[in-house]
Amino acid sequence: MSRSFEEIKKRKSRADEPRPPRPPRVRSPPVRRRPGIPQETERNGAQNGPVDRAARILVVEDDDNVRFVTVAALRLGLFDVEEVASGRDALRRLDEPATVPDLVVLDVMLPDLDGFEVCRCMRSDGIDVPIVFLTARDATEDRLRGLTIGGDDYLTKPFSVEELVARVQVILRRVGKERRAKALTAGDVELDDDARVVRKAGVEVPLSPTEYKLLRFLMRNAGKAMSRGQILDHVWDYDFDGESTVVETFVSSLRKKLEDDGRRLIHTVRGVGYRLQADTR
């Protein structure tokens, strides 16, 4: 059936009228994989599915500009980044096992403890997270020192932030997954750093935060005689200036809680300090 000219004209005029804008289409954001970290499963309401946890990076740098650029680049790389400006602040932060970072970007020339000393303290305290050194020192002996005392990589300033992000990703892939502290055991005593729980013969033993730190330090150095000075340095935040008898007080408390079966766990080393070693008698 043919349409009249007037009908066609009306239809065309209606087609030429401006139309109200369409509401924007809302799309779900794409799932972005976190670099170097495997997927985990988490319950979310009635749905189950894989989710990602960003790798935690601790940046230790005293130069405000360098720290800002480094942190910004790592966050753009989808990392969860924290920042501190001194060696002692870094060691205090690393003493929190519940949120231990997966990698540390560590400046060498810091205002208090230099990066090499921070690395040495970390390794002696059993903290084995990967370390990437940042420094203006490019001498071969400095590189060798940083790598031999426990560093995983060494980047000299000025550096490319893209290269830093790439090196961090490579290290995390090599590690395979975030390095969480493994359970430490001595006899029938177990310290689970992930859960921050101490068990004796499978039964949880309540400890104060300082008792926990002391036991963890001794267990990480099991079999070694640790001096009172070393214990004060590592358990009381590296700058304790109180009475040294505090060590004896807390050791006595741990013994009461963990040695009730008559077997010695924490041994006194005369003239030195203490050694943790399970008594198998």
Q: Output the pTM of the full model.
A: 0.51
How much is the mean pLDDT over the chain? 78
pLDDT digits (tens, 9 = 90+) for 175-186: 764 444 457 889
Number of H helices, E strands in the chain: 9, 14
Going by pLDDT thresholds of 50, 70 and 90, the confidence category of residue 137 is: confident
Q: Which of 68, 63, 117, 65 is nearest to 88 (CA)?
A: 117
What digits encode the pLDDT tens for the residues 58-79? 999 999 999 999 999 999 988 9
**Residues 201-223 pLDDT 10s:** 889 999 998 899 999 999 989 99
* Residue 40 reports pLDDT greater than 70: no
State both tokens at 220: 């990480």
DSSP conformation class of 86: S
What's the helix, strand, coil split of the chain in %, to 5? 35, 20, 45
* All structural domains of the chain: 56-175 (3.40.50.2300), 184-276 (1.10.10.10)
Query: What's the pLDDT at 6?
Result: 52
Which of 29-33, 132-136, 266-270 is the most confident on average? 266-270
Place of tokens 């997966």: 102
Where do the DSSP E strands lie in the chain? Answer: 40-44, 47-51, 56-60, 80-84, 103-107, 131-135, 153-156, 184-186, 189-192, 197-200, 203-204, 226-227, 266-269, 273-276
